[in-house]
Amino acid sequence: MEQAVPAPTLRRLPRYHRLLEDVIDQPCVSCTQIGRLLKLDPTQVRKDLEYTGITGKPRVGYEVNALKQALEDFLHLNKTDEAFLVGIGSLGQALLGYTRFQEYGLQIVAGFDVDVEKVGTDIHGVPVRDLSEMPGLARRMGVRLGVITVPANYAQSVADMMIEGGILAIWNFAPVQLVVPDDIFVHDEHLYVSLAQLSRRLAQHLARRDSLPVLEKTRA
């Protein structure tokens, strides 16, 4: 059994993977390099990578392909989970169109909504069906992952239906604290939290900027 990973480490690991995938074009890479590119302490990078079980070579660093593979194994990016998405609003449609999710182990195989206009259509190649069919289909197809993109006030009842259908993990985009049994795993994606952080940080940033001597305040 793999040991528990600290949450901050788990947040950084995918960034390393993407860096290797998209940016690094060389056989080996050192923690120093990774750290410079992602603005992280090299020692921290090394500690994080340790969790994947990979070992490097002094003076050389890590073999890029091996490291990429180790990260994929550790993050389970190579095996795809089928998922249902409920709520074909603008966000739901955007997620259906984001094919790159498959590279990260998520394949949305069906969408659901209550809107009769939407039921029966295909969005980005994914069929949309009536919400009432969802629990039965989830059980029949053995789907264990659900994505919730409905308005806040419907989110809890959708979660209940998912659980009824045997779904075990929920990616929740609705701005609500879902109440679920202990054995159900919920991952919240709360854009409003991000936005409030941004709002606060921008205001502080501007305040600091404005309190500075008027050196180069106007760029124009």
Considering only residues 82-101, where is the footprint of a second copy by CB under 8 A?
A: 89-91, 93-94, 97-98, 100-101
CB-based contact 43:78 (threshold 8 Å): no
Of the candidates 8, 14, 27, 127, which one interacts with DNA according to CB under 7 A? 8
The Cα 132–Cα 114 span in angstroms is 8
Output the smallest distance, CB 150 to DNA, in A: 29
Query: Which lies closer to DNA via its Cβ, residue 44 or residue 121?
Result: 44
User: 184-192: which pairs have CB atoms within 8 A and are 24 or more residues apart?
Assistant: 186/159
132 binds, among a second copy, DNA, none (CB under 5 to 8 A by kind): none
Residue 204: both structure tokens together: 């502080």
Q: Does 178 bind a second copy (CB under 8 A)?
A: no
Q: Does 36 bind DNA (CB under 7 A)?
A: no
Please name the amino acid found at residue 58. P
Of the candidates 44, 105, 109, 121, which one interacts with a second copy according to CB under 8 A? 105
Considering only residues 182-201, where is the footprint of a second copy by CB under 8 A?
A: 183, 185, 187, 189-201
The Cα 48–Cα 68 span in angstroms is 14
Widest distance between CA atoms in the chain: 67
The Cα 32–Cα 12 span in angstroms is 15
| Cα–Cα separations (whole angstroms), residue 198 to 203, 204, 205 | 8, 10, 10
Of the candidates 16, 17, 51, 56, which one interacts with DNA according to CB under 7 A? 56
Of the candidates 116, 207, 214, 215, which one interacts with a second copy according to CB under 8 A? 207
Of the candidates 42, 89, 105, 166, which one interacts with DNA according to CB under 7 A? 42
CB-based contact 175:192 (threshold 8 Å): yes
41 binds, among a second copy, DNA, none (CB under 5 to 8 A by kind): DNA
136 binds, among a second copy, DNA, none (CB under 5 to 8 A by kind): none
